[in-house]
Each structure stands twice: as structure tokens, then as C-alpha cells.
Amino acid sequence: MAKLELDGICKGYDRPILDRLSLTVEEGEFFVIVGPSGIGKTTLLRCVAGLEVLDAGRVIFGGKDVTRVPPYRRNAAMTFESYALYPHMTVFENIASPLRARKVDKATIEKSVTDVARLLRIEQLLDRRPHEVSGGQKQRTALGRTLVAKPDVFLLDEPISHLDAKIRHELRRQFHTLQELRRVATVYVTHDYAEALSLGDRIGVMGNGGLVQIGSAREVFERPNNIFVARHLGQPSINEVACSISDSGGQITLQSASGNFVFAAGGAQRGLLQKAKGDVLVGIRPQHVRVANGAATGQIAEAKVEAFEALGATGVLIAEVGGIALTVLTSPEDDYEPGQPIRLALDVDQFLYFDPAQGNNLQTKAA
């Protein structure tokens, strides 16, 4: 049992991937790293495991510097996206392999493997070989092999992203409830923001060079510190509208830089925008704009339907408002024709404001 500390780690190939990244994952914490593919999430895990040599910085397990300790002596267990099971061994032997390598006695191995298999509901598969079990069962076998090793640090690389929805939901629940995982420091990597929000005690959103924001699920989703974070979390993606701010006696009006989309800022954000002046990048999540019915109150924008598609569980509407295209969520039962006039209710209090140069959230920057 140990906490994990990363102190200013640097790693690059032809370009820097990790640039002075520092992070502490507490004992018992489930830390999720989310980010677009190719950004360096797996490289970070490999650095922690010792599979990569750092260019600079330190990796510390439980207060002990392990930067120069080889991977097999670090007591970190890693699962790979590709499972990496031994094809000639049974499920039992695969799970037992780290214990056998440590020359643990037979009776203890038998008990540990059976316990873990029961926990993961694969006890009836112990005699099968990897090619005889499904993808979800392979994944659970790989997970069992990591759990049985009782490591100080768990490193999980996209462990469920290739599985069917049903198994994904089941495993997500197991990650929440497995006490074995909740006793050590876990670093979990995924590109799926919903998975990250669901699982992480804290979430690190990774961008070029390192973690752009670290926070709880609600913090990173509702108060992203940068447009990059807002853009990566949520689907369909957040609408981004470049606007100019005008202030007439305390009434703050925003007008889109191109076209003619105009709205008044919400009460809570007035002060902030008064100070910001000039230009601002407005982030509008699709769920914060609704197609208004007759009785709707609040700010309404006249719009026209540009396109509408019912995409399974949701309807996605692209509305043209004063020359700006906004993505709006609707019910899939709805039907809209291109060109049809509609009215949009704007939930302006939920809009996010970023500085156009750096993309930083004006609200979190001020706070």
C-alpha cells in the first residue's frame, strides 16, 4: 500500500510528450487520465511502470524513489489494452502467473486465484484457454492477474473500451466496488469521457505535454479551466462562438464576431465580462440550448433548422442563429425540416466564457 508521486517527469521522442508533469495519487485513490488518442496517456503509464526511461524527473512509490528501479521490482501491476494473456495457459494459470513467478506456495496460489475469479465472476472458466473465452472474459482474466499480484500501484490502460456496452457497464460497476482497487493507488487511462467521469475520484484531462486540469467529475465537466477540457468532455461537442462584449450601463450584451447572434449575459457572469471587455470565446453545451415551445420564458433566439438527424437515443439539431451554427439536443421522436423556423431557449447562466488567446476559463481564472 502506497501513494504514488510523480515529480516533474519529462519524456519525449521526436517531440516532448510529457513536460514536467507532477502528480500525487493518494493511497486508495482511483485517478483517471482522459484525453484524445495519441496525446501520451499510455506513455505516462509506461513511465510509472518503469517500461520507459525518463528524460528527467522522479517516480516515487510510498515515499521511495523508484526512478532507477527496474519494472519487475517496482510492484506496480499493469493491464494492457490488448490483454496480453499467455495463449497456451489456462485462465487459472494466467491469473496465477505473477504468484508463480514469486514462488508462492501452491495452496496460497489456489486460494488467491479462486477468490479473485469469484470476485470477477469467471470461476467457471478457470480451465479454459484465452481463445475459448469472450473479449470481456479475457479482460477480466487480465484484470484478475493484476489483482492477484497485490501490487502497490495499479495501472490500467483502456481496460474496457473495446467491450460491448453490457459488459462495459458491468465492469464499470465492479471497478467502483472492488475493495482491492480501493486500497491502493490506481491510475486508469481512457479516451472515453463518460468512463472517466463515472470512475475517477479525481480526473486528469491530458493535453499536449501534461495534465491541463485535475479535479472531480463535476469540476472538470461543469467548470473546465480551459476550452480544451470543455471540448474533450461531452458529446456532441460544446459549441464555440467567438463574441465581442459590449457594456451599456451594466447590461452586458454579447454579439458573435461573425454573423449576428446576440444575447445578454447571465446575472452571475456580468461582473466577470464587464472586466474582460473586448473579445471572448463563448462555450455553449448542446444541452443548454433547447427548442422552445410557445410558453418558454427567458432568453429566446429566433433560428432556422439547418439539419436534423435522429441518432438513436437523442436527436441532434443544427440550428442557424444569426449566421452562426449551433448544435442543439432534442428528443429523437421530434422531426424538423431544413429551413423550418424555430425558437431556441438559451440557458445563459450555464454558458462558459474563455479568453480567446489562451482558452482559459474566465471564471475559474478569477476564482
Contact set with other proteins (CB under 8 A):
36-37, 135, 164-166, 169, 172-173, 176-177, 191-194, 197-198, 217-218, 221, 233-237, 285, 287, 307, 309-313, 316, 332
**Cβ contact 31:223 at 8 Å:** no
Cell numbers for 246, please give them.
459590449
Q: Provide, rounded to whole angstroms, the least separation between the CB of residue 310 and other proteins.
A: 8
**φ/ψ (deg, to 5) at 247:** -120, 110
C-alpha to C-alpha distance for 166 and 149, rounded to whole angstroms: 27
Q: Provide, rounded to whole angstroms, the least separation between the CB of residue 286 and other proteins.
A: 9
Q: Provide, rounded to whole angstroms, the least separation between the CB of residue 293 and other proteins.
A: 18
Q: Provide, rounded to whole angstroms, the least separation between the CB of residue 26 and other proteins.
A: 20
Name the residue nearer to other proteins (CB basis): 199 or 276: 199
Q: Provide, rounded to whole angstroms, the least separation between the CB of residue 165 and other proteins.
A: 5
**Cβ contact 264:348 at 8 Å:** yes
Name the residue nearer to other proteins (CB basis): 62 or 332: 332
C-alpha to C-alpha distance for 310 and 316, rounded to whole angstroms: 6
Q: How far is CA 165 from CA 237, 286, 328, in A?
A: 21, 24, 25
Name the residue nearer to other proteins (CB basis): 135 or 298: 135
Name the residue nearer to other proteins (CB basis): 247 or 347: 347
**Cβ contact 240:228 at 8 Å:** no
Q: Provide, rounded to whole angstroms, the least separation between the CB of residue 259 and other proteins.
A: 20
Name the residue nearer to other proteins (CB basis): 57 or 200: 200
The C-alpha torsion from 44 through 228 and 347 to 367, rounded to 10°, is 80
Q: Provide, rounded to whole angstroms, the least separation between the CB of residue 182 and other proteins.
A: 13
Q: Provide, rounded to whole angstroms, the least separation between the CB of residue 112 and other proteins.
A: 27
Name the residue nearer to other proteins (CB basis): 48 or 217: 217
Name the residue nearer to other proteins (CB basis): 75 or 198: 198
258-286 b/e (C-beta count within 10 Å ≥ 16 → b): eeebebebbeebeebbeebeeebbbbbbb
Name the residue nearer to other proteins (CB basis): 253 or 287: 287
Name the residue nearer to other proteins (CB basis): 36 or 356: 36
Q: Provide, rounded to whole angstroms, the least separation between the CB of residue 356 and other proteins.
A: 22
